[in-house]
Chain A
Amino acid sequence: MSPASAIVPWLLTAHLAALAISAIPSPEALRAARGTRESVDDAASRIVRPVLDSAADGLVAMSDMAWRITSPIRPVVRLYVNTLGLGQTWSMFASPPRGSQFLRFRHFVKDGTAPAGAPERVISEIVFPAAPYGTVRGLGSYWHSHGDKATSNAIEAYYQERARRRTAGMPEPREGDAALDAALARSFVPLVQYYHRRFAASLPAGDVLVRSETWSGWAASPHRGERRVAEAQRTAALAPFAAGPVADVSEIRRLTVDTEAIEADIRWTLLYVQDGGSSD
């Protein structure tokens, strides 16, 4: 047997062991993935769910044990798999969202030629999902999917940071929160700045974009066996945005972070404010 033939199995064994170890979820991650049960059982789940619940309890116990046993070598494993980009967190759709999410910008525009004190115009656009609500996603939606993924990743990073701050006992963020900006400098902030710049570039000459409010919308999905109750209202609320940005005449005040508004069955929350001169 050649030296290479003797070494290869050991290298492969080490590599596969590293993959297996990196695939073990942390107890915290597994607990966060559990979710809460909200739907009543149907005929199939009445039989299957209790079996799977028991299996899941065993899984959590085994995973916790595996996590503890592999803890000493985890730093080396993490270094190896992270360096090669081979992390084994295959949790795609493990926790499916139980509602529909939207991202909306309220842009405050000032006419540069208007006198000081002139009111600002507020123009809203929904940027996520990219496809207008209720439209069929055909082959062309492939190109929207990456933008939607970028937006959803950024929103997730925002909420994770908010949760981390809450757990750490930090105060809720306000406009211009430098610590929040720093924490989200590689996720949510680039998203906001991109849409802020994009809208600014679309303005006619003389208009100035002075402020962009980032609003997240959430509409809960019906549980299994329930009918949708507000679909028509939701569709009507979102329809104006199908053709692009819409002038907002109902509310032109500047609002503060965590302000909430209800529109049909969508709960909008103000997440972040981008001022006009701070997008670089």
Chain B
Amino acid sequence: MAPLTEPGAVGDRTSWAEFWLGSVDPHIYAALRVLLGLVGLITLAGLGDLSTYWTCDGLVMSSGGSLCQAARGAGLGWLPGALLFAVTVASFAAMVVGYQTLYAVSAAFVCLMMIVYWNPLPLSGAQQVLRAILFCLVWADSGNVFSLDARMARRGEATTDNAAVPPVPVWPLRLFQIQIAVIYFVTGLWKLANVTWRDGTAIHYVIENNQFARVRIETLPIEGLLTLATYATLFWELGFAFMLLHPWTRRLALAMGVAVHVGMWATLELGSFSMVMLASYVAFADPERVRRWMAPSNFDPGAQTDPND
């Protein structure tokens, strides 16, 4: 199967069904699983102040609810939030190491949903993105390789580390890619609707705002640059989905994305947003390259990974 990243891959396909029902090397799912698991743990580290973000006496949306009232009455106001935090940490940790992978990824997704019901106040777009892309990963065979599950499975079989890894369905990866494309396109449309993005002043106001900017700088000397940065961001987000359709523009879109998110991380404090987005870019990498990077001993240039070839 030709991965999305081969030149003209999409245009050359004879079957739309193959785009969705083809197969791919599972290392790309493993890479996404590990990276998103790490991002999840970093996010939880930022929310690690249990007394503030999780307990019934904290800055918690559910603090006035019946569960908290009952828990406080029993002297256990710390318990519901602390339990949810612990289970979430365990889920993401299991994701990273690939232990009971299907359950770990599913549990991480469910925990993120429950956090929204427990206390959405400290959550931002980063967690919303993480939830959306974890939903895609739930459907993927992300524990076949680079995981404790795979190692334990091999222990019970007469196989070696160099055995060929069977390919897995590609459609979760397509779902993942389309979700990222939707995120950028929709956020671009929302920005287009706002006058500050159209008149080029949006990033000027973001830099002037006291909540996000890392350093308080005078914007007057760099106004022209900020206008250009505003337009570049807007056009890139609106065009991202379309730029994915050709390998050359795809590389440009991803390169611009790396530049934008690294630039955002360097200049603005946005929690784990840049990390989540950059981790998701692995979905657009060449699966063969990911496999070579993750399992060089398994690399065989002549090997066929698609059983239908």
Contact = CB atoms under 8 A, between A and B. Distances in A.
Contact of B213 (A8, A15, A49, A137): A137
A101 interface: yes
Given A25-B190, A136-B215, A137-B269, A190 B121 contact: yes
Contact of B192 (A44, A56, A97): A56
Contact of A9 (B20, B52, B179, B187): B20
A37 B62 CA distance: 39
B293 to A, nearest CB: 27
Interface string A136-158: 11100111111111101110000
B67 to A, nearest CB: 13
Q: Which among A41, A89, A91 has the greatest number of chain B C-beta atoms within 10 A?
A: A91
A221 B219 CA distance: 11
B46 interface: yes
A88 interface: yes
Given A190-B60, A224-B226, 4 more contacts: A133-B210, A150-B53, A194-B52, A227-B220
Interface stretch (A16-24, A159-167, A208-216, A254-262): A16-24
Nearest to B214: A137
A265 to B, nearest CB: 12
Interface string A80-113: 0000111111111111111111100000000000
A101 B135 contact: no
A252 to B, nearest CB: 28
Contacts of A194: 52, 57-60, 63
B98 interface: no
Interface residues of A, number: 90
Interface string B118-135: 001111110010011001
Nearest to A220: B208
A149 B271 contact: yes
Contact of B121 (A96, A99, A149): A149
B216 to A, nearest CB: 5
B122 A149 contact: yes
A90 B198 contact: no
Nearest to B264: A93
Nearest to A31: B193
A89 B128 CA distance: 9
B89 to A, nearest CB: 15
B205 interface: yes
Contacts of A174: none
B186 to A, nearest CB: 4
Contacts of A230: none
B123 A149 contact: yes
Given A44-B231, A225-B220, A153 B121 contact: yes
Contacts of B46: 142-143, 145-146
A86 B201 contact: no
Interface of B: 17, 20-21, 46-47, 49, 52-53, 57-65, 72, 112-113, 116, 120-125, 128, 131-132, 135, 171, 174-175, 178-179, 182-184, 186-187, 189-206, 208-211, 213-216, 218-220, 223-224, 226-228, 231, 234, 269-273
B122 A93 contact: no
Interface stretch (A181-189, A241-249, A269-277): A181-189
A206 B17 CA distance: 74
A19 B178 CA distance: 10
A35 B196 contact: yes
B201 A39 contact: yes
12 contacts: A8-B20, A19-B179, A39-B201, A85-B113, A85-B116, A94-B194, A95-B194, A96-B202, A147-B52, A148-B211, A194-B52, A194-B60
A5 interface: yes
B196 A96 contact: yes
Contacts of B194: 33-35, 94-95
A44 to B, nearest CB: 5
A129 interface: yes
A69 interface: no
A100 B17 contact: no
Nearest to A136: B215
Contacts of A33: 190, 193-194
A22 B21 CA distance: 25
Q: Which among A36, A55, A146, A193 has the greatest number of chain B C-beta atoms within 10 A?
A: A146
